[in-house]
Amino acid sequence: MATTDGRATRRRVDARTNVERITAAGRTVLGRGEASLDQIATEAGVGIATLYRHFPNREAIVRAVLEDILETDLLPLIEQAADSPHTRQALQDIATRLLDLITEERGLVTFAGNFADVAVEVLQRFSASLHPLLVRAQQADEIRPDLTAEDIPHFLVMAVAGLALPGATPSLRARFIALLFDSLNPANATPLPPLLIEENDLRTSLGNVART
C-alpha cells in the first residue's frame, strides 16, 4: 500500500508533469496563431478542468510560455553575452532575439488582454542577469548612465508592442531595434525624469513579487 508521503509525492510529480505539458502545448498552439484554452488542453492531452486547475486564466498561460521562452531560448544568449567585448551590441542582439522568439509564437501577444503587463513581470525576473551587461555598456559609454536594469524590461516590452506584429519582417525589426538602442546612447541625451516615489515603490513591489 502506498504511504501518505508516497501519494503526496506522486501528486506533485503528476502536477508538475501536467504543468510542463500544458506549457509546451501553449507554445505549440500559440505558434499557430489564434488559440483557445480548449485547444491548448487538447494539445496537452488533459481535460479543461485540469488546465484551469493549474492555469486559471489566459494570462497564466502566457506567463508560463514566456518563462519557458526566456529560460530555454534567451537565457543562454544572455550568459554567452557575458564574455562579449561589445556589450551594447550584445544587449541589442538579445532584444532582437526576444522579438524573434515572441513573433514566432504568433498568437502570444493577442492571447492575453494585458500582454504588456505580464511580459514586464516575467522580464523583471531576468533583470539581475542583464545588470552586469548594462553596467559594462555604461562603463564603456555605450549606454546612458541613468538607465537601470529595472528599466530594461519596460524598454523591451515597448519594442515588443510596436514590432511583434504580423507583417513585421526580421529586417524591419532589426532596423527599428537599432534605432531604439541609438536612443540609449549617452551622447547629447537629456537626463531621464526622476521616477516618483510612489511609482518607484510600486515597481519595487512588483519586482519583489516577481522574485517570489
Q: What is the 3-state secondary structure (H, E, C) of the chain?
A: CCCHHHHHHHHHHHHHHHHHHHHHHHHHHHCCCCCCHHHHHHHHCCCHHHHHHHCCCHHHHHHHHHHHHHHHHHHHHHHHHCCCCCHHHHHHHHHHHHHHHHHHCCCHHHHCCCHHHHHHHHHHCCHHHHHHHHHHHHHCCCCCCCCCCCHHHHHHHHHHHHHCCCCCCHHHHHHHHHHHHHCCCCCCCCCCCCCCHHHHHHHHHHHHHHHC
CA distance 81 to 24: 27
Task: Give the residue carrying C-alpha cell 531604439.
Answer: 180
Which tens digit of pLDDT belongs to each residue from 56-100? 999 999 999 999 999 999 989 888 888 888 888 898 888 888 888
If phi > 0 it is left, if psi is from -120 to 50 it is alpha, else beta; for residue 46 that is beta
Query: pTM for this structure?
Result: 0.76
Note the pLDDT tens digit of each residue in 172-201: 888 888 888 888 887 767 777 776 755 555
Lowest mean pLDDT among 71-85, 101-115, 123-137, 192-206: 192-206
pLDDT (0 to 100) of residue 210: 45
